[in-house]
Structure 1
Amino acid sequence: MTEQSASQAMQTELDVAPWRKSTYSGSNNNCIEHAPLPSGRHAVRDTKDRSLGAHVFAPTAWQAFVTAVQDGSL
Protein backbone atom coordinates (compact mmCIF):
# COMPACT_ATOMS: atom_id res chain seq x y z
CA MET A 1 0.00 0.00 0.00
CA THR A 2 1.40 3.38 -0.93
CA GLU A 3 1.56 6.26 1.53
CA GLN A 4 -1.21 8.04 -0.37
CA SER A 5 -3.53 5.02 -0.42
CA ALA A 6 -2.82 4.42 3.29
CA SER A 7 -3.75 8.03 3.97
CA GLN A 8 -6.93 7.69 1.91
CA ALA A 9 -7.83 4.48 3.75
CA MET A 10 -7.34 6.23 7.09
CA GLN A 11 -9.52 9.16 5.99
CA THR A 12 -12.25 6.78 4.86
CA GLU A 13 -12.07 5.00 8.20
CA LEU A 14 -12.42 8.34 10.02
CA ASP A 15 -15.29 9.46 7.78
CA VAL A 16 -17.41 6.40 8.58
CA ALA A 17 -16.41 6.13 12.25
CA PRO A 18 -19.17 6.11 14.89
CA TRP A 19 -18.13 9.32 16.67
CA ARG A 20 -19.45 9.86 20.20
CA LYS A 21 -19.15 13.00 22.30
CA SER A 22 -17.51 12.52 25.68
CA THR A 23 -19.96 12.41 28.56
CA TYR A 24 -17.46 14.52 30.53
CA SER A 25 -17.70 17.39 28.04
CA GLY A 26 -19.37 20.49 29.38
CA SER A 27 -21.85 22.78 27.71
CA ASN A 28 -19.20 25.39 26.88
CA ASN A 29 -17.98 23.61 23.71
CA ASN A 30 -14.89 22.16 25.41
CA CYS A 31 -15.69 18.79 23.92
CA ILE A 32 -13.92 15.83 22.46
CA GLU A 33 -15.27 12.95 20.44
CA HIS A 34 -14.04 9.37 20.42
CA ALA A 35 -14.51 6.69 17.80
CA PRO A 36 -13.44 3.06 17.73
CA LEU A 37 -12.19 2.37 14.20
CA PRO A 38 -12.75 -0.77 12.12
CA SER A 39 -8.98 -1.41 12.16
CA GLY A 40 -9.04 -1.73 15.95
CA ARG A 41 -7.46 1.67 16.50
CA HIS A 42 -9.14 4.55 18.34
CA ALA A 43 -9.53 8.16 17.24
CA VAL A 44 -10.08 11.35 19.22
CA ARG A 45 -10.93 14.79 17.83
CA ASP A 46 -11.87 18.28 19.02
CA THR A 47 -15.52 19.10 18.34
CA LYS A 48 -14.79 22.83 18.07
CA ASP A 49 -12.69 22.35 14.94
CA ARG A 50 -13.09 18.97 13.31
CA SER A 51 -11.13 20.21 10.30
CA LEU A 52 -7.96 19.80 12.40
CA GLY A 53 -8.32 16.06 12.03
CA ALA A 54 -8.04 13.37 14.65
CA HIS A 55 -5.40 11.76 16.79
CA VAL A 56 -5.33 8.02 16.13
CA PHE A 57 -4.04 5.50 18.66
CA ALA A 58 -3.06 1.85 18.39
CA PRO A 59 -5.13 -0.46 20.59
CA THR A 60 -2.34 -0.89 23.18
CA ALA A 61 -1.72 2.87 23.40
CA TRP A 62 -5.44 3.54 23.79
CA GLN A 63 -5.75 0.95 26.56
CA ALA A 64 -2.74 2.44 28.37
CA PHE A 65 -4.36 5.90 28.15
CA VAL A 66 -7.73 4.66 29.45
CA THR A 67 -6.03 2.78 32.29
CA ALA A 68 -4.01 5.88 33.27
CA VAL A 69 -7.14 8.02 33.34
CA GLN A 70 -9.05 5.45 35.38
CA ASP A 71 -6.31 4.94 37.97
CA GLY A 72 -5.61 8.66 38.30
CA SER A 73 -2.01 8.51 37.11
CA LEU A 74 -2.75 10.86 34.23
Structure 2
Amino acid sequence: MQNEMNVPAWRKSSRCGTSTCVEVAKVNDQYLIRDSKDPEAAPLSFDQSEWDAFVEGVAAGEFRF
Protein backbone atom coordinates (compact mmCIF):
# COMPACT_ATOMS: atom_id res chain seq x y z
CA MET A 1 0.00 0.00 0.00
CA GLN A 2 1.39 3.40 -0.98
CA ASN A 3 1.75 6.04 1.70
CA GLU A 4 -0.50 9.04 0.98
CA MET A 5 2.45 11.35 1.65
CA ASN A 6 4.13 9.86 -1.44
CA VAL A 7 1.17 10.27 -3.81
CA PRO A 8 2.03 12.92 -6.39
CA ALA A 9 -0.15 16.05 -6.54
CA TRP A 10 0.17 16.73 -10.28
CA ARG A 11 0.05 20.36 -11.47
CA LYS A 12 -0.43 21.77 -14.97
CA SER A 13 0.52 25.17 -16.25
CA SER A 14 -2.33 27.67 -16.30
CA ARG A 15 -1.45 28.18 -19.99
CA CYS A 16 -2.44 24.64 -20.93
CA GLY A 17 -6.15 25.26 -21.33
CA THR A 18 -7.81 22.06 -22.53
CA SER A 19 -4.84 20.78 -24.54
CA THR A 20 -2.43 18.15 -23.32
CA CYS A 21 0.45 19.41 -21.25
CA VAL A 22 3.42 18.46 -19.22
CA GLU A 23 2.53 17.96 -15.56
CA VAL A 24 4.86 18.39 -12.59
CA ALA A 25 4.72 17.00 -9.05
CA LYS A 26 7.09 16.93 -6.10
CA VAL A 27 7.34 13.83 -3.93
CA ASN A 28 9.83 13.93 -1.08
CA ASP A 29 13.07 15.20 -2.65
CA GLN A 30 12.19 14.29 -6.24
CA TYR A 31 10.53 16.38 -8.96
CA LEU A 32 8.42 14.29 -11.32
CA ILE A 33 7.39 15.22 -14.87
CA ARG A 34 4.84 13.40 -17.04
CA ASP A 35 2.78 13.86 -20.19
CA SER A 36 -0.85 14.56 -19.27
CA LYS A 37 -2.16 12.48 -22.17
CA ASP A 38 -0.32 9.39 -20.87
CA PRO A 39 -0.63 9.58 -17.06
CA GLU A 40 0.00 5.85 -16.58
CA ALA A 41 3.49 6.03 -18.11
CA ALA A 42 6.43 6.26 -15.72
CA PRO A 43 7.32 9.91 -15.05
CA LEU A 44 10.78 11.37 -15.42
CA SER A 45 12.40 12.02 -12.04
CA PHE A 46 14.85 14.77 -11.08
CA ASP A 47 16.63 15.67 -7.85
CA GLN A 48 16.80 19.22 -6.48
CA SER A 49 20.03 20.22 -8.27
CA GLU A 50 18.77 18.89 -11.61
CA TRP A 51 15.44 20.70 -11.17
CA ASP A 52 17.21 23.96 -10.24
CA ALA A 53 19.39 23.72 -13.36
CA PHE A 54 16.29 23.17 -15.52
CA VAL A 55 14.41 26.14 -14.02
CA GLU A 56 17.47 28.38 -14.45
CA GLY A 57 17.81 27.24 -18.07
CA VAL A 58 14.17 28.06 -18.80
CA ALA A 59 14.53 31.51 -17.20
CA ALA A 60 17.69 32.15 -19.27
CA GLY A 61 15.95 31.16 -22.52
CA GLU A 62 18.17 28.12 -23.15
CA PHE A 63 15.26 26.09 -24.53
CA ARG A 64 13.97 28.58 -27.11
CA PHE A 65 14.25 27.46 -30.71
TM-score of Structure 1 vs Structure 2, range by shorter chain:
0.7 to 0.9
Distance 1:68 1:24 in 2: 19
Greater helix share, structure number: 1
Where does structure 1 lack aligned partners over 5 or more consecutive residues? Answer: 1-8
Once the two structures are superposed, what CA deviation does each residue of 1:12-42 show, in whole Å capped at 9, x if it has no partner?
83xx11111122324322x11101111x110
Taking structure 2 as the reference length, the TM-score comes to 0.77
Runs of at least 5 residues in structure 2 that lack an aligned partner in the other structure: none
Bigger strand share: 2
Q: Which residue of 2 aligns with 1:65?
A: 54
Cα RMSD over matched residues?
Answer: 1.9
- The two structures have a TM-score, normalised by structure 1, of 0.69
